Amino acid sequence: MVRTLRFLALALSLAPAAAFAADPATTVFLGGEMTGPERLALTSALAAADHPGVLLFDTPKARPHLAAFLREFGTSAVVPVGRFDDDADRLAARLGIPVNSFVTPANGGPRQLSTLIVPDAASVARAYGAWLGDDRPIRTAVIANPATESATLAPWLAAQKHAAVLFTDRDGKNVAEVVERATRRPELQKIDHVILLGDATAIPTQTRPNPIAGKDAEIEMEPLTPQAGVFSYAVGRLTGPDIGIVALQLARQRLLRPGPKQAVVVSNPGGGLPLLETVSQHTAQELRYAGFQTDVLLGKSVSPVDVRARLPGADLFLWEGHQATLFRDYGFAEWTEPLRPSLVILQSCLALTDVKSYPLLERGALGVVGTSTRTYSATGGAFALAYVDALLYDRQSVGGALRTAKNFLLTYQMLKESRLSQTRLSGANMRSSWAFSLWGDPTLELPLPERPAGNHAAVRPVVNGSSIMIEVPAAGFERVASGKYAATTRPNTRLAGLLRAGDEAGESKLVSFVFAEVELPARNDRTPKLTSKLPAENWAFAWDARRSVGYLLVLLRPKDVGALRFTVD
């Protein structure tokens, strides 16, 4: 590790002082052609130096997007590190910004480095264990397969996220064992977010038998998906078509700014999914309530021209409909317009694949949420609403919101099976909770716009000692409807496909739910027992003992207004 740090010291000494004097925070280190050990040395050394700048790589997939990022970032200096086909003038012309003297390994280039010796994975891990041993809690783990190229980014990524680096075995299949072993250590017991660094060849996904009859015999899911019980970790996968796109995803986080935000909701294009469309309209109401300028495209009025025109301006894009419409009919994966640093939610079957989702990450998206298997549209819509609400009301990270939405589906399944005695299609909730995944940095927290001052009250859970109180306001949103389905909801309520007879003949009204993630004091590892005056068949509670967090789902009756109280025993 000492020799690795010398690499950075030499690199910094060779780079002109002007590269750091103006503004180190807007300095960009641009990696050229490198061997894996050379890249690991660079990322380790930059991380150990705690440099505030940005690290990018001049790879084939990233190259077309570098100039736009450097311009928008306000780059003050570019320090090329490695071997480049271009000289300084040609590279500057391609990037649109002057570059400083090259820093290259010993076997070529205008400047020479002394012999480079890099540590193995174990020594990097030990060094980072010491580096992280300060007073700040370690809440994030970076999981990498040391046998893959993506692992060379682990030191830099860990430094950016104040994370522990954990290495899998060479086949990458022992993530759960690695995390379980690491969290036995006192300094790592509070790990909350897990970043899987690499694609499915580096860290394979898992499969389980489909819990509901369908075309898919097995369901694909990320490591750390529980066999039973709650989802405890906020998991996301940092991946892309090459290592340069992965680095760009991290760098683009620096472009996020407070201020007005734009959301685009597209639901039920072509018609045929009225229940989903009703749920999507409520999701759009929630976004507007949170202050997003929200465009809503629904049903047969949706056109690919309208969707394509709005996507580049979206800070949050939600598609809810058939994947064949989006990818086959619209040609979504072939669109080329640059995107804002945005979050894309593809609530559609079979959408989270390399061919379909990598183009979004290349063009500017910070993360894509979706599933590589099939889902029922109503269950998927319930997931998307729960995910968006977790971002808007709980101000969760993009990975934390994923965990919350999965646990919403879990508690809804509990309510259906144990309390409502409705088991039909209950496997659909389990399947969706397993399958929805995030390609992006799970620790990312999106800046939200200011909420309108005239908003009426939202549903609000409050924990006070041994009680949980949920305030349900009387005022709500305007009624939304599609086909025979309708819903009248309040801010921060969920929908999940449960129906009751409506006010009009033949109308089915969606039942509203309240869902709360509540932190409760740990009590000798015992599961809290909740009691309430509400009927037992109207609520469900799930407990995450590792985090001392509970998930409370309440089915609202028409008369449930005001304070709903639960006592914690």
Beta strands of 210-292 (E only): which ranges? 218-221, 234-238, 262-267
Are 517 and 192 in contact by the 8 Å Cβ rule? The answer is no
**Per-residue model confidence as pLDDT tens digits over 480-511:** 999 999 999 999 999 998 888 766 777 899 99
What are the residue boundaries of the structural domains of the chain, listed by start? 1-118, 257-405+431-440, 460-568
**Per-residue model confidence as pLDDT tens digits over 191-242:** 999 999 999 999 999 999 998 877 888 999 999 999 989 999 999 999 999 9
Give the pLDDT confidence score for residue 416 in this predicted structure: 86
Nearest to 494 by CA among 379, 403, 377: 379
What is the DSSP pairing of strand 140-144 with strand 163-167?
parallel
Are 39 and 155 in contact by the 8 Å Cβ rule? The answer is no
pTM as predicted: 0.92
**CB neighbour list of residue 309: distance below 8 Å, 6 or more residues apart:** none
Give the pLDDT confidence score for residue 213 in this predicted structure: 78
pLDDT one digit per residue (tens) for the chain, 569 residues: 334 344 444 444 444 444 444 588 899 999 999 999 889 888 888 887 778 899 999 999 999 999 999 999 999 999 999 899 888 889 999 999 888 777 766 444 333 332 333 345 555 555 555 555 556 789 999 999 999 999 999 999 999 999 999 999 999 999 999 999 999 999 899 999 999 999 999 999 999 999 887 788 899 999 999 998 999 999 999 999 999 999 999 999 999 999 999 999 999 999 999 999 999 999 999 999 999 999 999 999 999 999 999 999 999 999 999 999 999 999 999 999 999 999 999 999 999 999 999 999 999 999 999 999 988 888 999 999 999 999 999 999 999 999 999 999 999 999 988 766 655 556 888 899 999 999 999 999 999 999 999 898 999 999 988 899 999 999 899 999 999 999 999 999 999 988 887 667 778 999 999 999 999 876 667 889 999 999 999 999 999 999 999 999 999 998 999 999 999 98
Give the pLDDT confidence score for residue 108 in this predicted structure: 41
Helix (H) or strand (E) run with residue 142 in it:
strand 140-144
Q: 257-405+431-440 adopts what CATH topology?
A: Rossmann fold (3.40.50)
Give the pLDDT confidence score for residue 342 in this predicted structure: 98
Identical topology for domains 1-118 and 257-405+431-440: yes
The CATH number of domain 1-118, selected from 1.10.1760, 2.40.50, 3.40.50, 3.40.1350: 3.40.50
Are 347 and 383 in contact by the 8 Å Cβ rule? The answer is yes
What is the DSSP pairing of strand 206-209 with strand 218-221?
antiparallel
Q: Number of C-alpha atoms within 13 angstroms, CB side, residue 190?
A: 7
**CB neighbour list of residue 295: distance below 8 Å, 6 or more residues apart:** 262, 263, 264, 265, 310
Distance CA 114, CA 111 (A): 10
Give the pLDDT confidence score for residue 502 in this predicted structure: 67
Q: Number of C-alpha atoms within 13 angstroms, CB side, residue 466?
A: 8
**Per-residue model confidence as pLDDT tens digits over 398-451:** 999 999 999 999 999 999 887 666 555 568 888 999 999 999 999 999 999 999
Are 23 and 51 in contact by the 8 Å Cβ rule? The answer is no
Give the pLDDT confidence score for residue 132 in this predicted structure: 56
